[in-house]
Amino acid sequence: MNLEERYLGKSVFVTGHTGFKGSWLTEWLLLLGARVTGYSLPPSTKPALFTQLGLRNRVTHFEADIRQGDYLRQVMVETKPEFVFHLAAQPLVRVSYAQPRETYDVNVMGTINVLEGLRAIRHPSAAVFITTDKCYAEKTSGGGYREEDALGGYDPYSSSKAAAELAIAAYRRSFFSETESMIALASARAGNVLGGGDWATDRIVPDCIRSLMKGQSIAIRNRAATRPWQYVLDPISGYLELGAALSQQLQSRKTAHASTADPIPGEDLAAAFNFGPGAGSEHTVLELVEEILKHWPGTWCDKMEPTAPREAMNLRLATDKALRLLGWSPTYDFQQTVKSTVEWYRESASFTLEDSGPFVAITHRQITKYLACRQNKTPTTLH
């Protein structure tokens, strides 16, 4: 699907645009020629990709909390979005143990506030709500998680995202399921994303980069922990393609309704989708660190943390549905993911915050390179 045809000149509303993934998504949307309105709290890190890219001055920026339901609804109605991408969240497992009530408030009630904003919109809008791969009830076998698997979550963060998924599904069935509905609502599940510009605390790649920049040894808390690592632009490409497909389906629905023709055949895309990495992406933290050190030489040391909060271990996602309905599959393998991530940090290490131009340039180059790789690959399912 030609994304520029779908997003060029369109009004796009993004919550959480000051975050890591939100900044990458916003930058890509601007490249596509979209008119972006962002609604979010200030960046939670210093530095922050949002600041490095100078996005405050390049989008319509609202600095506010998604828990401010009335104001959020007002902004959504006034900006008339044709696309909505909801990313704003409390995204960290460890923080959820320390602040469980706030985590549920932001991730569940904040999501409901965005859903209420959608209800107030009186024009066609394609909405993609981003949750996480951790929203599933844990299982120890049976392959990757599929969209129809039970929701759950052991820790407050994971279960808050499962609750958000339940709310999204309830609103979709209750308010947006009619054939004449002007809202098409889907959710997207991904996680363990790597990429340049992530400066969050308590994440392995930012921790590595901070140590390498200071010439210090990288402290590894749990070197045997295994995750399916994924390049940031892989799930974001899925979000954009899903949003574009929803918009196309809305247009077909409108045309069929106006002409009293039969409903458009095919599976409804207003549903949940997984956007996970390919097979072979599962690597230990130690393997990730060693791959990073191939591109930025340094050392590591073992700082085992036996009292660390429990996190889910099996997070592999099945992506057959995204391939079948959207033609989407992951583009970068583990090695290319790490290489591109480290390249962004190494090249930008000499940049200054006074000039966002170099940060924008390297980010654009990485998006362009990713798109070239994506165009040349043959979609395959790996789960």
In whole angstroms, how large is the CA radius of gyration of the chain?
A: 20
Residue at token pair 């497992």:
93
Q: Is 377 helix (H, G, I), strand (E, B) or coil?
A: coil
* pLDDT for 135: 95
* pLDDT for 221: 85
Residue at token pair 């996970």:
276
Contact between 322 and 275 under an 8 Å Cβ cutoff? The reply is yes
* pLDDT for 316: 84
* pLDDT for 279: 78
Helices 285-295, 204-213: inter-axial angle, 10-degree rounding = 40
* pLDDT for 262: 44
Helices (H), 36-183: 49-52, 69-79, 93-98, 100-104, 110-120, 156-175
* pLDDT for 313: 54
* pLDDT for 8: 97
Q: pTM surpassing 0.85?
A: yes
* pLDDT for 132: 94
What CATH number belongs to 3-199+231-279+314-333+350-376? 3.40.50.720
Helix, strand, coil percent content, the chain, rounded in steps of 5: 45, 15, 40
Q: Is 321 helix (H, G, I), strand (E, B) or coil?
A: helix
Residues of the chain with pLDDT under 50: 260-265, 379-383
- Rounded to whole angstroms, the Cα distance separating 126 from 293 reads 41
The b/e string for 63-92 (b: 16+ C-beta within 10 A; e otherwise) is eebbbebebbbebbeebebbbbbbbbbbbb
Categorise residue 46: left if φ over 0, alpha if ψ from -120 to 50, beta otherwise: beta
What tokens were used for 88? 């704003």
Query: In the chain, what are the domain boundaries?
Result: 3-199+231-279+314-333+350-376
* pLDDT for 353: 83
* pLDDT for 309: 63
